[in-house]
Amino acid sequence: MRRVVCPGSFDPVTNGHLDIISRAAQLYDEVVVAVAQNPSKTTLFTVAERVELIREATKRYDNVRVDRFEGLTVDFCRDNDISAIIKGLRAVSDFDYEMQMAQMNYNQAGVETLFMTTNPLYAFLSSSLVKDFAKFGGDVSGLVPANVLERLSSRLAEP
């Protein structure tokens, strides 16, 4: 089975992520969306919430699985019999770091990284921009799936 992992924080998942996930699902037998649990990183949503939001938003794809992991992506790959990582590239600014990371992952574990160029509609989009805009009343309805929009509004309304 040809399986690829799409790793990230997904705090929360955006339409940019979903575009990459759905396109990867057309190329691979299975796409595993791996949500990073990093105890030293402050997130708006817990890892369980982030997993649930992605599961809801990807339920129409029967070859997309959502899981969580802590530690190195290459260890997750080894444990799940995955030989490649897929990453979305938005702009040149993503490139330097992603290339270093890809080379490190190949050097350490022989895991390949494939880069998919972003859909130009979402080239500017990141989870942090969505959170910043939503926090101050911005309209992010075209940028995230409906379930995320709903959870974002209720989370930000909490005291």
50 carries an active-site annotation:
no
By rule CB under 6 A, what count of residues binds ligand ADP? Answer: 16
Interface with ligand ADP, residue 24, by CB under 6 A: no
Interface with ligand ADP, residue 145, by CB under 6 A: no
User: Which range of residues in 15-23, 61-69, 71-79, 103-111 is near ligand ADP by CB under 6 A?
Assistant: 15-23
127 carries an active-site annotation:
yes
Contacts by 78-83, CB closer than 8 A, 24 or more apart: 78/109, 80/3, 80/5, 80/32, 81/3, 82/3, 82/4, 82/5, 82/32, 82/111, 83/3, 83/111, 83/112
Interface with ligand ADP, residue 73, by CB under 6 A: no
87 carries an active-site annotation:
no
- Which residue in the list 40, 41, 60, 93 is annotated as catalytic? 41
d(CA 38, CA 91): 25
**97 or 136: whose CB is closer to ligand ADP?**
97
40 carries an active-site annotation:
no
The enclosing H or E element of 17 equals helix 15-27
Confirm if 5 and 82 have CB atoms less than 8 A apart. Answer: yes
Interface with ligand ADP, residue 22, by CB under 6 A: no
Interface with ligand ADP, residue 3, by CB under 6 A: no
- In the window 111-140, what residues touch ligand ADP (CB under 6 A)? 118, 122, 125-127
- In the window 85-114, what residues touch ligand ADP (CB under 6 A)? 87-88, 90, 94
Residue with tokens 């574990």: 109
Please give the full DSSP string across 85-132, using - where no structure is assigned: EEEEE-SHHHHHHHHHHHHHHHHHH--EEEEEEPPGGGTT--HHHHHH
Residues forming the active site: 17, 41, 90, 127
Catalog residues that contact ligand ADP under the rule CB under 6 A.
8-10, 14, 16-17, 20, 87-88, 90, 94, 118, 122, 125-127
